[in-house]
Chain A
């Protein structure tokens, strides 16, 4: 089946630093990837849609200058949390669709737990 990986799985950083999270589709190509955020005991909220070779589309209320998204290839999207603050601490999850099959199923990565001190 389709596999999506994320790296790192867990990161702790100091306030004011930037953190990059990678999302890779391992056995399929994805022109579109999605970034979600999940706070403890809550549901997933879509942050942005990452489009290969073009700018990401951000959901309302998500600061595009704070959460930088780069989708440089058909198998890799990155999310950079810039000047992180404690309120950015959360579980970040990416997903991807298989572009070749054109299917609607989204496959999710294992998530990255970010803690900002």
Chain B
């Protein structure tokens, strides 16, 4: 099956810093989503981005499908950004199944 690798596994920042999270995948995809899992376990949709670039406030994401990677940018980080960020992909021609990476645990200190 498709492999999804996220890096770094852990990231510690001071409030106000910027960061880039990476997601590599091993096959062509027709669905890629970024999620933020908050401390209570809720998965929050950040982006649906199988290709191209999107921005939402302090967050933006870019997926280069031909090179099989996606980047999530967090600018001016806040303590509320802490949590685990997951990338999940659906392989092209797959049966709607999302395969998750292992996540990046982000800690933003005040």
Residue total for B at the interface (Cβ-Cβ under 8 A): 23
> In whole angstroms, how far apart are the Cα atoms of A93 and B31 in the complex?
19
Interface set, chain B 23-76, CB cutoff 8 A to A? 30-31, 33, 35, 40-43, 45, 48, 50
B45: chain A residues within 8 A (beta carbon)? 1, 105, 107-108
How many residue pairs at the A-B interface have CB separations less than 8 Å?
Answer: 55
A108: chain B residues within 8 A (beta carbon)? 35, 42-43, 45
Tell me whether B97 and A46 are in contact (CB under 8 A).
Answer: yes
A18: chain B residues within 8 A (beta carbon)? none
Point out residues on B near A: beta carbons under 8 Å: 30-31, 33, 35, 40-43, 45, 48, 50, 86, 88, 90, 95-103
16 intermolecular pairs with C-beta atoms under 8 Å apart: A1-B45, A32-B96, A34-B97, A43-B100, A43-B101, A44-B43, A44-B86, A46-B98, A95-B43, A95-B98, A97-B96, A103-B48, A106-B88, A108-B42, A110-B40, A111-B43
